Amino acid sequence: MAKKSTTDTCCLTLPLKLEKWQSDRLEKRFEIARQIYNTLVNFELKKLKRLEESPEYKEITAQIQEALNSESRSESNLKALYKALNDLRRKAGFDEYSFKTDIKDFYKHFKDNIRSNVAAHGIAPQVWAAFEKLFYGNGRKIHFKRKGEMNSLRGYSVTGKSGGKEIIFRGTYIEWNGLKLPIKADPDNPYETDMLRNRVKYCRIVRKPGKRRPRWYVQLMLEGKPTLKCRKDTNEPRHPVGSGIVGIDIGPQTIAYVAESEASLQELAAQTNGIERERRILQRKLDRSRRATNPDNYAEDGTIKRGVKLTRNKSKRYLRTQRELAFLQSKQAESRKRQHNALANHLISLGNVFVVEDMDWPALTHRAKQTEISEKTGRYKRKKRFGKSVGNKAPAMLIGMLDQKLNSRGTGGVIKVPTSLRASQYNHLTGEYHKKTLGQRWNDMPDGRRLQRDLYSAFLLQHANLDSMEYDSEALNRDYESFVQHHDSVIEKLRTSGRTLASMGMVRTPSAQ
């Protein structure tokens, strides 16, 4: 197994300018790759079933379960048991190297399209990633890929050794097993020109939904750090990194940040709201079509029948609507990423250290487990939480972008503090904690001021002592008046703009709350 590279890696994505026959050839190869992927998944699942039925595996898993249920459980004992379980899995062939060896029996029938390089480095790692998530992450089940779900393939560039059978970058085009794919590059773009001076580690071909046909891109994984974008006239960095600490209070839909020179409260990826409405319309259209073409799948009350084999009839209009929905979702994702990138560039100009609470976003997307009754209405409370908001706004993506940008510059970073700091409950003027309901969006301060909850939380996080994980009272009192001026300016802008959300607490004015 080749030793993994330890050098820095950056990515340059360029569009491919293809004719229809070239796009069709890629479609065929990606479909073959999907079939190879599913064949390998089936093979590994059978191997896993044999392992789980072995006496050694059953004994270790029983001991782990007993240790977890024990009142006086020993962490060292659990650690030893998990190590023994992992050793048993590796011995049975559950590691990335073994998967690359297993796939050799499945791609040889498709050598005109898929060769060993792409199979071993492009397909097998994807299968192993799914099993790795099942073993060591939060995965619950291994899924097969349906038609059209294989959207990326990579191959390591070993120029001159395999005659262009892998995916190789040739300057103006990508060569893959006899297929030449022209790249749409801009020679007058200094960023692209400078990035292409780095050594290409490997190439990845990516398929994205298009309005009428797929869009194809190549991702060049280059050695080194990404080039710093500069202005053409002054040659100064377009997005310079500031200095100082910035406190961030981020929620499912909004972000509040407080820096030394600026504060703001705004909606995340606001331009995706219109796209979300169009997406819901298309989803309802698909549901109506499914019910019309598969009436036997539904009971009289409209629910799906259980315990019977369901039909999967799809009309041509249904398939066309499916493509429209896929393109719209891709458009929404690109818009969200573009807005997050612009906001991240602005944030790094305010400081180089960002303090944010370590939120468990997957937990916020799950439905509530307990059934509760509201004291006011006497009705059952909804079990839905923040899954829709988190999925649409992707707050974790923004924090990841911030961290990645600062790491590539080699300065500062994102510091995630535990939620035990309780930024939304603390009052620095009294030094006390007061628990608030989710609907309480304003803090009543002892000095008579009313401060927006998220902005005040960001101000507190900005002044958190990262060593003792407590708040710096002296710094809070020193910068309090300056923060209040920024706060009042932000609230006034929000009130006059009218672009607010209920979670901001701006539906009514603070005096009416």
Q: Read off the pLDDT of residues 35-48 as tens digits, 9 standing for 90 and up.
A: 999 999 999 999 99
Q: Are 456 and 488 in contact (CB under 8 A)?
A: no
Write the pLDDT tens digit of every residue in 99-132: 999 999 899 889 889 988 899 999 999 999 999 9
Q: How far apart are CA 50 and CA 57, in angstroms?
A: 10
Residue 307: which residues within 8 A CB-CB, separation 6 or more? none
pLDDT value of residue 159: 47
Q: How far apart are CA 270 and CA 507, in angstroms?
A: 17
Higher pLDDT, 2 or 228: 228
How confident is residue 236, by pLDDT bands cut at 50, 70 and 90?
confident
Write the pLDDT tens digit of every residue in 161-214: 544 458 899 989 999 988 999 999 888 888 999 999 999 999 999 999 988 889
> Per-residue DSSP letters for 331-375?
HHHHHHHHHHHHHHHHHHTT-SEEEEE---HHHHHSPPSS--B-T
Give, for 426, the enclosing helix (H) or strand (E).
strand 426-427
pLDDT value of residue 509: 42
Q: How far apart are CA 392 and CA 361, in angstroms?
A: 13
Q: What distances in angstroms separate CA 345 from CA 129, 159, 238, 409, one per listed residue?
A: 31, 37, 9, 12
pLDDT value of residue 390: 85
How confident is residue 4, by pLDDT bands cut at 50, 70 and 90?
low
pLDDT value of residue 510: 42
First and final C-alpha spacing in the chain: 65
Between 42-51, 150-159, 278-287, the lowest mean confidence (pLDDT) is in: 150-159
Write the pLDDT tens digit of every residue in 270-282: 988 888 889 999 9
pLDDT value of residue 162: 47
Cα 360–chain centre separation: 13
Write the pLDDT tens digit of every residue in 332-389: 999 999 999 999 999 999 999 999 999 888 888 777 777 777 777 777 777 667 888 8
> Per-residue DSSP letters for 181-248?
EEB---TT-HHHHHHTTSPEEEEEEEEE--SSS-EEEEEEEEESPPPPPB-TTT--BSS----SEEEE
Residue 196: which residues within 8 A CB-CB, separation 6 or more? 12, 220, 222
**Percent of the chain residues past pLDDT 70, beyond the cut:** 96
Between 140-154, 294-308, 482-496, 499-513, the lowest mean confidence (pLDDT) is in: 499-513
**Neighbouring C-beta atoms of residue 172, cutoff 10 Å:** 11
The full set of domain ranges for the chain reads 17-223, 245-270+324-369+382-512
Q: What are phi and psi of 11, to 5 degrees?
A: -125, 135
Average pLDDT score, the chain: 89
Long-range CB pairs of 84-92 (<8 Å, 24+ gap) are 84/60, 85/57, 85/60, 85/61, 86/135, 88/51, 88/56, 88/57, 88/60, 89/51, 89/135, 92/47, 92/50, 92/51
Which parts of 53-138 fold into alpha helices (H)? Answer: 55-69, 75-91, 96-102, 116-118, 124-136
pLDDT value of residue 373: 78
Q: Are 257 and 490 in contact (CB under 8 A)?
A: no
Per-residue pLDDT at 508 exceeds 50: no
pLDDT value of residue 507: 57
Give, for 289, the enclosing helix (H) or strand (E).
helix 273-293
pLDDT value of residue 342: 95
Per-residue pLDDT at 290 exceeds 70: yes
pLDDT value of residue 157: 58
- Assigned token pair, 270: 């606001």
Q: How far apart are CA 89 and CA 93, in angstroms?
A: 6
Q: What distances in angstroms separate CA 453 from CA 431, 448, 458, one per listed residue?
A: 16, 15, 9
**Four-residue CA torsion sign, 104, 110, 111, 114:** negative
| ∠ Cα 358 362 363 (to 5°) | 85
Q: What are phi and psi of 254, to 5 degrees?
A: -130, 165
Q: Which amino acid, 269?
A: A
What pTM did the predictor assign?
A: 0.85
Q: How far apart are CA 222 and CA 226, in angstroms?
A: 9
Per-residue pLDDT at 265 exceeds 90: yes
Q: How far apart are CA 141 and CA 292, in angstroms?
A: 31
Q: Give SS3 for 443.
A: strand
